[in-house]
């Protein structure tokens, strides 16, 4: 015996993309149910990115959850690229008229959860054996187990917002699904430390010993990374080793302002580029990491997911409010055009700023030449700036 539930949109995954989709739909009067294999505490505790494009800020404003972001977020009008100690500032605002906002993904998730619980969103947490069914029919469903009981959600549409390892993408037959992958031969070792950031703006550094990134979560909490071997263990990186390596890669002038301390979070993340096509199968739509992964170099993961959700919410709202299915029909094609442009930028910046073990001396010189060209050309800097603040949502589609 199953517990039967009915809704208009069943959202699989309660990370920021699933939460934002449910919030935008609710504001338009469209009903949804959200389910997740984890619980709220676990989801909120995940440490993720913290640089928000202007379009992401706009989406959170439209969703009515930007109050704390504007009170606590840190606007950034530029970003620094460094190569063997030489630094070049990309003037984001001067080149594009736009800036980015530093505000942790953890905080975005918390704000969205608060809003959804306040509005009475129906959640199912700690679910197991999630199975989307009848996706090519006009009445798909999602079955799952929770606390030993069977559930079946009858819906019009299924939104797969359940990440790279989720079930949504796997529900698309292999005869239909195409995937494109680029695995990078290194990882990022990241730490959080309660010390003021070494710089008021982010620094992406390429040093002969590897990449480093100086980022932040607030005026008193810093997020720092160094490139490491993908097979490294966190235990091989005590704080003393990290600080020595990080200081070296930043260069002595920048490192002179570095305040060190005990880290309270430390992890190694792999770097991967991944795209799945199509992003629609029948009445299933993929959004966010379920459909694509970008290396973190360009700070695009969350921002790309939010752009997906803005376009998907528009498509669903047009369907329910105006009977217009034009945006539903073009969702996959339109979104993928933007996804590939963002993948290109993340790949380009990753290629420029990391030490690749397979690179020949010629390729290393090409990296340096590319940096020198960007530093000497306003047009080249503008291309970086336009991509960093975020590509338009519609005009380039």
Rounded alpha-carbon distances, angstroms, from residue 315 to 168, 267, 319: 19, 38, 6
- Considering 76, 292, 319, 354, which one is annotated as catalytic? 76
Q: What does DSSP assign to residue 219? A: S
- Considering 151, 204, 224, 225, which one is annotated as catalytic? 204
Confirm if 195 and 222 have CB atoms less than 8 A apart. Answer: yes
- Considering 103, 151, 225, 388, which one is annotated as catalytic? 388
Give the DSSP H or E segment for 72. helix 67-72
Give yes or no: 296 in active site.
Answer: yes
Give the DSSP H or E segment for 378. helix 378-389
CA distance 188 to 172: 31
CA distance 121 to 333: 30
- Considering 207, 292, 300, 354, which one is annotated as catalytic? 300
Give yes or no: 204 in active site.
Answer: yes
Cβ atoms within 10 Å of 171's Cβ, excluding its own: 22
Give yes or no: 300 in active site.
Answer: yes
Confirm if 352 and 343 have CB atoms less than 8 A apart. Answer: no
- Considering 132, 225, 296, 354, which one is annotated as catalytic? 296
CA distance 104 to 192: 12
Which residue intervals of 208-354 are DSSP H helices? 239-250, 252-255, 301-322, 326-353
Confirm if 132 and 38 have CB atoms less than 8 A apart. Answer: no
CA distance 57 to 49: 14
Omega into 252 within 30° of 0, i.e. cis?
no
Give yes or no: 77 in active site.
Answer: no
Rounded alpha-carbon distances, angstroms, from residue 350 to 94, 177, 239, 298, 366: 24, 27, 25, 8, 14
Instruction: Tell me which residues are annotated as active site.
Output: 76, 204, 296, 300, 388
């Amino acid at each position: 015996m199953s517990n039967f539930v009915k809704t208009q949109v069943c959202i699989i995954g309660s990370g920021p993309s699933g939460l934002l989709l449910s919030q935008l739909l609710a504001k338009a009067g469209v009903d949804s149910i959200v389910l997740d294999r984890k619980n709220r505490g676990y989801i909120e505790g995940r440490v993720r990115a913290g640089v928000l494009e202007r379009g992401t800020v706009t989406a959170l404003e439209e969703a009515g959850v930007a109050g704390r972001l504007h009170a606590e977020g840190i606007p950034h009008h530029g970003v620094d690229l460094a190569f063997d100690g030489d630094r070049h500032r990309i003037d984001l605002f001067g080149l594009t008229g736009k800036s980015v906002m530093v505000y942790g993904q953890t905080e975005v998730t918390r704000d969205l959860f608060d809003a959804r619980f306040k509005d009475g969103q129906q959640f199912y947490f700690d679910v197991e054996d999630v199975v989307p069914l009848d996706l090519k029919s006009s009445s798909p469903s999602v079955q799952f187990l929770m606390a030993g009981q069977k559930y079946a959600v009858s819906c019009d549409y299924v939104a797969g917002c359940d990440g790279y390892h989720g079930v949504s993408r796997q529900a698309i037959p292999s005869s239909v699904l195409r995937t494109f992958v680029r695995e990078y031969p290194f990882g990022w070792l990241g730490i959080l430390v309660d010390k003021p950031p070494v710089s008021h703006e982010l620094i992406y550094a390429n040093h002969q010993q590897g990449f480093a990134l100086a980022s932040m979560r607030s005026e008193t909490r810093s997020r720092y990374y160094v490139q490491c071997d993908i097979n490294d263990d966190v235990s091989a990186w005590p704080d003393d080793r990290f600080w020595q390596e990080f200081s070296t890669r930043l260069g002595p002038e920048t490192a002179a302002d570095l305040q060190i301390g005990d880290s309270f979070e430390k992890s190694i993340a792999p770097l991967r580029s991944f795209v799945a096509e199509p992003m629609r199968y029948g009445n299933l739509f993929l959004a966010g990491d379920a459909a694509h992964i970008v290396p973190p170099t360009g700070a695009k993961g969350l921002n790309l997911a939010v752009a997906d959700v803005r376009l998907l919410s528009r498509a669903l709202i047009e369907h329910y409010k105006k009977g217009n299915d034009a945006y539903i029909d073009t969702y996959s094609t339109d979104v993928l055009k933007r996804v590939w442009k963002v993948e290109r930028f993340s790949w380009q910046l990753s290629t420029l700023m990391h030490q690749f073990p397979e690179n020949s001396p010629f390729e290393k010189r090409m990296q340096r030449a590319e940096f020198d060209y960007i530093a000497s050309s306003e047009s080249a800097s503008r291309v970086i700036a336009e991509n960093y603040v975020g590509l338009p949502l519609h005009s380039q589609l």
